[in-house]
Amino acid sequence: MGELGKEFFNWTVIREMFPGLLTEAVKNTVVLTVFSFAGGIVLGLLLALARISRHRWLRWPVAVYIDLFRGLPLLLVIVFVGFGIPIGLGTQFPYEPLTPGVVALAMVYAAYIAESIRAGIEAVPKGQMEAARSLGMPYRMAMRRVVVPQAFRIVIPPLTNELLALFKDTSLVAVLGTRVGGKEITKYARDFVNHSGNSSPLVAAGIAYLVITLPMLRLVAWLDRRSKAGSR
Amino acid sequence: MSVRSMRLPAVALLLVLLAGACGKDTPKNNSTGSAGGGDGSSTVDQGRSLKTVDSGKLTVCSDIPYAPFEYEEGGTLKGIDIDLVRAVTGRLGIAADFRDTDFDGIFAALKSGQCDMIASSVSITDERKQQNNFSDGYFEIHQSLLVRKADEARYKDLPDLKGKTVGVQSGTTGADFAKAHASGASIKEFTGADELLTALKAGQVDGVVQDQPVNAYNAKTTGQSVIVKVFTEEKAEQYGFVIPKDKADLLAAVNKALKEVRSDDSYRTILNNYLGSTAGQS
């Protein structure tokens, strides 16, 4: 265990990662996650509503969008948004490389989130919409006030899963390059491995992820149980 | 989560780690047994007696592409490093097998036993020598600054890039150089040299600091970039092959074969192939 312990649990090496592991790496991972997920939720909700729209000209292109981004590897989309668009259009994203990273993550995750939300909306019994409409509510108002709020309760467990996956996928954004102070957890740890020649930073990075993901996983399980046992 | 339910995954993880560690221990122990190699024997005998990661061939980690030293063209690997390694392993009577590895993870790959040697335009530095052995140097380079052709008149040296973005590859001597000398600029690190050069084209970095031959190759092949400065006032760097400290027999064999390759025409032929006959390496 001695040799193995030194390679994976070398506290001298791990101690050097602080405080940057928290003030830089975890911070940047969380920032990427929060902005991307916020964008993904907004875009995903719009996509979901368009996906179930009565208008074919709305439904169709959105279905194509969702299939496209669910079918593409995230890394490819990140490289396309981060390098392809600036080369093609000759313009730069502001706050680059954070912005293209967030845009790519939000675009891809919106497709997944849209499918989760659509499933949630469709799981709300038809009678709810019919009752709201029979009270004289227009379609949009009935959707906004009656169906979507109920759907959100249903989709919280799958959305938490998307958030978890997104949190881990932020590590891919490093392909666009990182500025001083701009590394997320995985890149931060890889650089420490490179400098120290020791694998312990990877273990520390893993723990940093788990500290955030394990409670979230438990939360998903709890929400899942609650929604199954719930009054609905 | 209770302690009990956490124990099972922890044990599983430990088993996986142990299995990995045992797997890599076996060849390492064998190779130390036959250390030395003996200078009297022929190069081929020396090569064939080597204990390598994959027996019968030398597995070599390289960060591809890094033209003109290592790159893929038409489905085959090319470049000065590639051809030089093949010349060396040819002398040793074994095959060479290349493994593409990001530069920022390449020393870890060597340490974890994924390859026997690194041939990836690695400059010999004192810091790197603390962890690994280097072969004799085989190529001399300086750092250089590459900019877009349109900016040729604006940026002549690193101070001109004050407030701009300078791109480097993580873990390289170019990154260290830029951090030390481009204080007014924002340094942006990339894991791959290919992304680094793409970022210059995309306008996300305004200058690239890396080894002169690599920047020169990009300038020549793309026609869109130009080297505005070669930092010849700094001490030149020597490329060497990187070999783990516990493989002294491999180091001796590679150095011997390298000397043979350099003593006849094959080394010069390789350089001429990629750099043209003006290549000034001795």
What digits encode the pLDDT tens for the residues B111-155? 888 899 999 999 999 989 998 999 999 999 999 999 999 999 999
| Distance between CA atoms of residues B243 and B115, nearest Å | 9
Q: Residue holding tokens 């000065």?
A: B80
Angle at A42 between CA A39 and CA A46, to 5 degrees: 135
Sign of CA dihedral B208, B211, B214, B215: positive
For residue A92, the model assigns a pLDDT of: 87
What's the alpha-carbon Rg for chain B, to the nearest Å?
21
B112 contacts in A (CB within 8 Å)? Answer: 199
A199 contacts in B (CB within 8 Å)? Answer: 108, 112
Chain B residues 186-245 with a CB less than 8 Å from chain A: 186-192, 195-196, 198-199, 201-205
A83 contacts in B (CB within 8 Å)? Answer: 195, 198-199, 202, 204
Residue B139 forms beta bridges with which residues? B239
For residue B277, the model assigns a pLDDT of: 63
For residue A4, the model assigns a pLDDT of: 81
- Taking an 8 Å cut-off on Cβ atoms, the answer to whether A197 and B108 are in contact is yes
- Taking an 8 Å cut-off on Cβ atoms, the answer to whether A197 and B205 are in contact is no
A68/A179: higher pLDDT: A68
- Smallest CA–CA distance from B132 into chain A, residue: A197
For residue B4, the model assigns a pLDDT of: 47
Confidence of residue A226 (pLDDT cuts 50, 70, 90): confident
- Quick check: B2 pLDDT over 80? no
- Smallest CA–CA distance from A221 into chain B, residue: B1
Please state the rounded mean pLDDT for residues B173-194.
93
What would the two tokens of residue A48 be? 């979901």
pLDDT tens per residue, range B240-282: 999 999 999 999 999 999 999 999 889 999 999 999 865 556 5
Which helix (H) or strand (E) segment holds residue A93: the answer is none
Residue A92 to chain B, least CA–CA distance (Å): 7
Quick check: A162 and A41 in contact, CB under 8 A?
A: no
Read off the DSSP letter of residue A154. H
- At B77, give phi and psi (nearest 5°): -85, 140
- At B250, give phi and psi (nearest 5°): -65, -40
For residue B136, the model assigns a pLDDT of: 97
pLDDT, chain B, mean: 86
pLDDT tens per residue, range B69-98: 999 998 899 999 999 999 999 999 999 999
What would the two tokens of residue B212 be? 């002169």
B187 contacts in A (CB within 8 Å)? Answer: 179-180
Residue B133 forms beta bridges with which residues? B243
| Distance between CA atoms of residues B258 and B137, nearest Å | 10
B72/B23: higher pLDDT: B72
Please state the rounded mean pLDDT for residues B202-228.
95
Range in B20-29, B35-44, B59-68, B215-224 with the lowest mean pLDDT: B20-29
Q: By the CB < 8 Å criterion, does A136 face chain B?
A: no
Q: By the CB < 8 Å criterion, does A92 face chain B?
A: yes
pLDDT tens per residue, range A144-186: 999 988 998 889 889 999 999 999 999 999 999 998 899 999 9
For residue A6, the model assigns a pLDDT of: 84
A92/B69: higher pLDDT: B69
- Quick check: B31 pLDDT over 50? no
Q: What is the pTM of this model?
A: 0.79
ipTM of the complex: 0.77
Please state the rounded mean pLDDT for residues A118-128.
94
One-letter amino acid at B274 equals Y
A176 contacts in B (CB within 8 Å)? Answer: 195, 199, 204
HEC secondary structure over chain B: CCHHHHHHHHHHHHHHHHHHHHHHHHHHHHHHHCCCCCCCCCHHHHHHCCCCCECCEEEEEECCCECCCEEEECCEEECHHHHHHHHHHHHHCCEEEEEECCHHHHHHHHHCCCCCEECCCCECCHHHHHHEEECCCCEEECEEEEEEHHHCCCCCCHHHHCCCEEEEECCCHHHHHHHHHCCCCEEEEECCHHHHHHHHHHCCCCEEEEEHHHHHHHHHHHCCEEEEEECCCCCCEEECCEEECCCHHHHHHHHHHHHHHHHCCHHHHHHHHHHCCCCCCC
Please state the rounded mean pLDDT for residues B222-227.
95
